Amino acid sequence: MEIDDLDRAVVHALRIDGRAGWREIGTVLGVSDQTVARRYRRLRETAGVRVVGLINPIRLGYETWMLRLHTRPDTAAPLAGALARRPDTTWVSLFSGGTEVSCSVRVAAHADREALLLQKLPRTPNLVSVSAHCLIHHYVGGAVGPDRRDDALTADQIAALTPPESAGDPAPITDGDGPLLDALARDGRAGYTELAGATGRPESTVRRRMRELRGSGTLYYDVEVNPPVFGFRAPVLLWMTVSPARLAAVGAALTEHEEVVFAAATTGATNLVATVICRDMAAFYRYLTARVNGLDGVDRVESAPLSRHVKQLGAVPGQGRSTRTGSPRTSSS
């Protein structure tokens, strides 16, 4: 499908506030609310665009781990599928060569991390090796805010759509929040009637709880896209070894790179991980040799081209309700 400037503006607006009303977005963009709703439906149906609601692990003090799993080629896809069905994974990807699966796992601070990270891995005799890296500081992407790739809106338009900053302590997740969070992980713009049906709670209760979760920063919204549709055909994961004295400076520099959609400091032999999205491999070469090469303190870089996202942000589309322990809408708040 052809992506035009209005499509990009709608996606940019949703990255700023995933539950902004169509009328609010239309007013900022200078089009009708019906036009915005129609564009979102088209983007969702044909371009893989989806708003998802996610808990904020940083505000809640959760640990986030990245696992690198090396397998035999015929095992990688089934393993990735099994990991994607876990409610504690936030993304699962296959990398070129067909022998590596990487995923991000959210672990509550009080949990037994060894049991969650390793003992509950899908049992497979073809799992060759596993390495686990704790994300110790987030620089860009996800819960810390949008990256630099969106440039469709002006500063004034961004300001008009930006919701108030979170205030107070984060609202703790309760067992009763599970169905609501599951529904928002499938569709962050689900209407209150739909959410009430999914949770068995009155609409007024759902509205109030969503205000509490979002207002305290426990809940945030992000936008899932299919990068090739938007002209980006070279997603690559970078594992960097950076001098500790330069780690903060390199991380800060990456936040200014429009190619970088995620970056974090980690534990392990490599201490910084980043996801970059370029238009093609020639553009990635230019990025690697010009921008990454120019970062003082980067001693080594390992690049892993991404083959396929099995799970990108929220629940896998079509997946049923999870056993969590903790349709496009036409209006929202």
Q: Which CATH number characterizes residue 297's domain?
A: 3.30.70.920
Six token digits for residue 65:
């781990």
The reported pLDDT for the residue numbered 116 is 65
Domain span at residue 251 reads 231-307
What residues have CB less than 8 Å from 276, skipping those under 6 apart? 235, 236, 238, 257, 259, 260, 261, 284, 287
* Rounded to 5°, angle at Cα 102 from 101 and 104: 145
The reported pLDDT for the residue numbered 319 is 57
The reported pLDDT for the residue numbered 169 is 93
For strand 127-140 and strand 219-224, is the pairing parallel, antiparallel, or unpaired? unpaired
Give domain status of residue 248, yes or no.
yes
The reported pLDDT for the residue numbered 122 is 66
In the block, tokens 């590596």 appear at: 100
Give domain status of residue 277, yes or no.
yes
What residues have CB less than 8 Å from 213, skipping those under 6 apart? 171, 177, 219
Show the low-confidence residues of the chain (pLDDT under 50): 320-333
Q: How many domains does the chain have?
A: 1
Give domain status of residue 218, yes or no.
no
What residues have CB less than 8 Å from 253, skipping those under 6 apart? 295
CA distance 82 to 92: 10
Give domain status of residue 286, yes or no.
yes
The reported pLDDT for the residue numbered 88 is 85
Alpha carbon 7 to its chain's center: 20
Give domain status of residue 253, yes or no.
yes
> pTM for the complete prediction?
0.87
Burial of 23 (C-beta count, 10 Å sphere; 0-12/13-18/19+): middle
The reported pLDDT for the residue numbered 149 is 76
Q: How many Å is the maximal CA-CA distance in the chain? A: 57
In the block, tokens 């299919």 appear at: 226
The reported pLDDT for the residue numbered 96 is 77
Give domain status of residue 240, yes or no.
yes
**What are the phi and psi torsion angles at 62 (to 5°)?**
-75, 155
Give domain status of residue 299, yes or no.
yes
CA distance 276 to 302: 13
Give domain status of residue 87, yes or no.
no
